[in-house]
Amino acid sequence: MSFPAERAAILAANPWLPEWEETFVDRTQFQGPGAKGWARRGRLVVAQSACQLAGRGYSWPGSVSDCTFRGVYLHEVGHVVHAALGDREQAVLAGLRALGGPKVTGYEPNAKETFAETFRLLAGNPALLEAGRPWRYDYLREAGVNPPEGSHSNWERGLVGSPPQRFIDQCARWIERGKTWRRPQTRLL
CA distance 147 to 126: 6
DSSP 118: H
| Predicted confidence band of residue 126 (pLDDT cuts 50, 70, 90) | very high
Pairing of strands 43-47, 37-40: antiparallel
Looking at residue 129, its amino acid is: L
Alpha helices in 33-88 (DSSP H): 69-84
Q: Is residue 79 within 8 Å of residue 116, measured between CB atoms? A: yes
| Predicted confidence band of residue 1 (pLDDT cuts 50, 70, 90) | low
Least confident among 14-18, 28-32, 155-159, 173-177: 28-32
Render pLDDT for 127-159 as a digit per residue (tens, 0 to 9).
999 999 999 999 999 999 999 988 888 999 999
Q: Which residue has the higher pLDDT, 45 or 121?
A: 121
- Whether the predicted pLDDT of 56 surpasses 90: no
pTM of the model: 0.92
CA distance 102 to 87: 27
Render pLDDT for 67-106 as a digit per residue (tens, 0 to 9).
999 999 999 999 999 999 999 999 999 999 999 899 999 8
- Please give the pLDDT value at position 62: 95
